[in-house]
Structure 1
């Protein structure tokens, strides 16, 4: 048992040594540092001092307060910095809180992977270096326009404006993050105004101030006196030219082209000339009459009672009216 145990222990040790040489043969990157200017954080390092027949690829991980307390000390891969051939990595959007971050990087050459090389001390984005903003000042009528370029994502800008010679009465303006233009209106015509600005993140972190820029307010630009007459003249000439082109086109238009462009709809059939209209006449019906026979009374008969005449208006059929007259003579 003792001999067999020694052999097994020795074999295991050889396997571990072989795996160690296989896994950690490639040296780690060195001189790992981070440069943060205007809230842009870039990690840099030097490649490992060893020959590699393939392209050396690098991977970066970070660990902040959230990873330490919530994820039980887990290291998180930087999504944009995995298996990259460059010796730098932009971590601006990965280091998104004001906590301390541990960062490390390792190299890989083929199947060989180096140990992790860690940043010498934790990094906090509040230690970023804020530089003076790029400022442009222009006068627009009686207003002052101040614009900025390449501002940090989460930093604001403090702007100071004063009338030349009255710096003690300067007015201060604060531009929030993501706003890069300031407009100051209703300034004195002919006066000279000066501007100075700096970026800031909180009361403790701020950049140096820009150089002082001064411009002269020229006042509102009046409308030119000749503007109205020229507008009227141009409008009249344009209308005259348009009418001339229309009338000339109509006067010199080719008949075939005119018929093609100015097509007339045909007249309705009832309005076309030569149409014969037949009017149907309904023949008049002859008046129907019925003879009435009257019997004269004899001399021996007493005077007859007044005749009783009854007029019976019967049905109306086919537009005819029949009138029945009945005379009854009673003794």
Structure 2
């Protein structure tokens, strides 16, 4: 009696692969595969030439896919029973979750580094634009007390006051119109 083939089901990213044991050239394999829970929509693939790895289908992220196989010898028209079903899940769903976590963590790390710097920079801009404290350099500071400066310039200020002439607004308007 024929025995079912030894097989190994592999999920390579989103590709559903099956590795079959090396058997005689007269042997063929009938491979059945399906989404778990959808046995009524089973698909069949006949492997007539031996290749160590057979690509069965492209998987969707999420559901498990199951595979079982039987050995078939065409010359004597006999087949083995089916092997036990082996199920795998697409590895892409885990890797997408991992990528999402890594990108999110990186975003938070960058934000944690940049936000304090931006807050500090904004506080400096606010300080210099709104709360300016002018500090004069020593070269611009007068060495004498301010009262002495006022007394020194008082004669010149009186001369300036004598030269200033205040005009009534009507006269200014009349001169401006002419």
Structure-1-length-normalised TM-score: 0.27
Structure with the bigger percentage of helix: 2
Structure having greater relative contact order (Cα 8 Å, sep ≥ 6): 2
Structure-2-length-normalised TM-score: 0.49
